[in-house]
Chains A and B, each alone.
Chain A
C-alpha cells in the first residue's frame, strides 16, 4: 500500500531522510517512532504529497508521488485520511460541518453527507456535539473530530501524526481503540509517535527512525 524505495529528502541542503526503504502492506497497522526531529512528520508528508522526495521512489495506493501532477494530488489525498498533529479544524464551522467538508469536496449529495457524518460521529461518540464549534471542545474531543473527518471519506490509508500528543492516558487509550477499529475494517493505518508507551504490548509492527535512517523494527 505504501512503498518507499531509497528515498532521500532534505530541506535546503539539510538531509532529514536518507535512503529509506520501507513497505507497509494493505490492512496493516504500524507505528513509526523516533525522537523529536527524527523526520516522522516529514515521512508522513511525503506520503500525502505535501513534500516531494529528492531521490528515490514513493508509491502510495498505486500513485507515484514523485511523478504526481499538481492537478492529480487532490485525488491521491482523497484516498489518504490524515489526522494532523495541529488538528486543522476550522473554527468558523461546527463539528458537523468540519467533518462534512471532507465529503463536500467530493460533490456528494447532501443527504448522503448527513448520513455518513452522523454515522462517523456516532463511532467517535460525539453525536451530541455535532453543532458545537471546535474551540469549545476538549483536546480529546477535538482529536476525535479530526479522526472522524479523516475516516468519513473511507480512505484506503489513514495517517496520524502524534495522535495522542497532549492527551491524558485515559483519553489516549480511547483514541488508540478508535484506530484499531478503523484498521479492523480494512484501512491501512500508519501512526507516527515519539511516545513509546503507545505501542508497547500492542503486538504491532514498530519502525524506528534515527539519524535519518531506519534504525530497526520490532513488534510492540
Chain B
C-alpha cells in the first residue's frame, strides 16, 4: 500500500516534470478517443434511425380475385400463427378502392365509371425487425407467393437491401476504426512511457541494485500510463459532449427533425470509450516497461 502511494507520488512528479510530453500524449489520445466515440455515436444514431424506418416496412400480399372470404380467413389465420410476422392487416377490395379514391382526389371521377372494382384485396404483413434482412425477406416473399390464393407479393426490395448494406458498412467500419485507434493509443502511450523509462535508466539500475522488486520499479510507469489514459478519456468525453450539445442546439434551430434523429448522449459510449482508452494506455505502458532483468 505504501509502495502504491510512493509510486503514485513518483508518477505524479514525473507527469509534472515532463508536462509537455505528457500533455501532447494526453491530447493525442483524447483526439483518438474523440474520433472513435464520435463514430460510435453516429453509428448508434444511424442504427436507431434505420430501426425506426424498418418498423414501417411491410410486405403487401395481393390476393387472387376468385378467393372467397372463408379462404381469405384461413390465410389470415395462417399469417397470424407465423412467428416471424408480428402484424397482419386486411385490406378489402373496397378499402383499396377507397384509398385510391382518396389518393386521386379531384380526379376520382376516372374510377367512378368503372362497373367493377379492379383492385384486389390484400394483406399487409409486418415482419419482426430483426428479420429484416434482404435475403430472408426475399425468401419469405417467395414462400408466400407460392401459397394458393396469393397472386403477388410486393415489398421495397431495393430499399431494404441498401438499408441493410448501410447498417453493415457502418458497423464494420466502426469495428475497424475502433481497432486501429486502440492500437494507436497503445502505441502512443508505449512511446511516451518508453522515453521516460530510458531516461530513468540510471535510477532503475540503482533501484535494482538496492533490492527493489520488479513491481516496485514498474508501478510508477504503469500508474503514469493509466493516469494518461484516464485523463485523455475524460477530455475526450467532455469534447464529445460539447460537440454533441452544440449540434443539438444549433442543428435543431435549422432543422427541428434532428432532435428526433439524435439519441441523446449514449451513456455506454461516455463510459466505455474512456475506460477502453485507459485500458489501452495501461497496456501500452505495460509493453513499454517490459520484462525487467536483474
* Bound Cα distance A165, B208 (Å): 24
B3 within 8 A of A: yes
A23 within 8 A of B: no
At the interface with chain A, which of B163-171, B210-218, B250-258, B266-274?
B210-218
Report A149 CB to chain B, min CB distance, Å: 8
Q: Tell me which residues from 58 to 108 in chain A have a Cβ below 8 Å from any Cβ of chain B.
A: 70-71, 73-78, 82, 84, 88, 90, 92, 101-102, 104-108
Of the candidates A48, A70, A109, the one whose C-beta lies within 8 Å of that of B209 is A48
* Bound Cα distance A69, B250 (Å): 64
B6 within 8 A of A: yes
Main secondary structure of the interface of B (DSSP, over half): helix
Q: Cβ of B74: which chain A residues have Cβ within 8 Å of it?
A: none
Do the beta carbons of B210 and A102 come within 8 Å of each other? yes
Q: Cβ of A107: which chain B residues have Cβ within 8 Å of it?
A: 1-3
Q: Cβ of A110: which chain B residues have Cβ within 8 Å of it?
A: 2
27 pairs of residues in contact across A and B, judged by CB atoms under 8 Å: A49-B294, A50-B294, A71-B213, A71-B214, A73-B294, A74-B214, A77-B208, A77-B209, A77-B210, A78-B211, A82-B209, A88-B202, A88-B205, A88-B206, A90-B206, A101-B206, A101-B207, A101-B210, A104-B2, A105-B3, A105-B207, A105-B210, A105-B211, A105-B212, A105-B216, A106-B211, A107-B2
Q: Considering only CB atoms and an 8 Å cut-off, how many residues of chain A contact the other chain? A: 27
Using CB atoms, name the residue of chain B closest to A76.
B211
Do the beta carbons of B212 and A74 come within 8 Å of each other? yes
Q: Considering only CB atoms and an 8 Å cut-off, how many residues of chain B contact the other chain? A: 19
With A107-B2, A108-B2 as contacts: A74 and B213 at CB distance below 8 Å: yes
What mask results when residues 195 to 208 of chain B are scored 1 for a CB within 8 Å of chain A, else 0?
A: 00000001101111
What mask results when residues 19 to 50 of chain A are scored 1 for a CB within 8 Å of chain B, else 0?
A: 00000000000000000000000000000111
Other 7 A-B pairs with CB < 8 A, given A88-B202, A88-B205: A48-B209, A76-B211, A77-B211, A104-B3, A105-B211, A105-B213, A110-B2
Residues of B within 8 A of A (CB): 1-3, 6, 202-203, 205-214, 216, 293-294
Q: Cβ of A71: which chain B residues have Cβ within 8 Å of it?
A: 213-214
Number of CB contacts from chain A to chain B under 8 A = 56
Report B197 CB to chain A, min CB distance, Å: 16
Q: Cβ of B2: which chain A residues have Cβ within 8 Å of it?
A: 104, 107-110
Q: Cβ of A48: which chain B residues have Cβ within 8 Å of it?
A: 209
Q: Cβ of A106: which chain B residues have Cβ within 8 Å of it?
A: 211
Do the beta carbons of A84 and B209 come within 8 Å of each other? yes
Using CB atoms, name the residue of chain A closest to B203.
A90
Q: Cβ of A153: which chain B residues have Cβ within 8 Å of it?
A: 211
Report B250 CB to chain A, min CB distance, Å: 50
Using CB atoms, name the residue of chain B closest to A92.
B203
Using CB atoms, name the residue of chain A closest to B4.
A107
Of the candidates A70, A82, A101, A109, the one whose C-beta lies within 8 Å of that of B293 is A70
Q: Tell me which residues from 86 to 137 in chain A have a Cβ below 8 Å from any Cβ of chain B.
A: 88, 90, 92, 101-102, 104-110
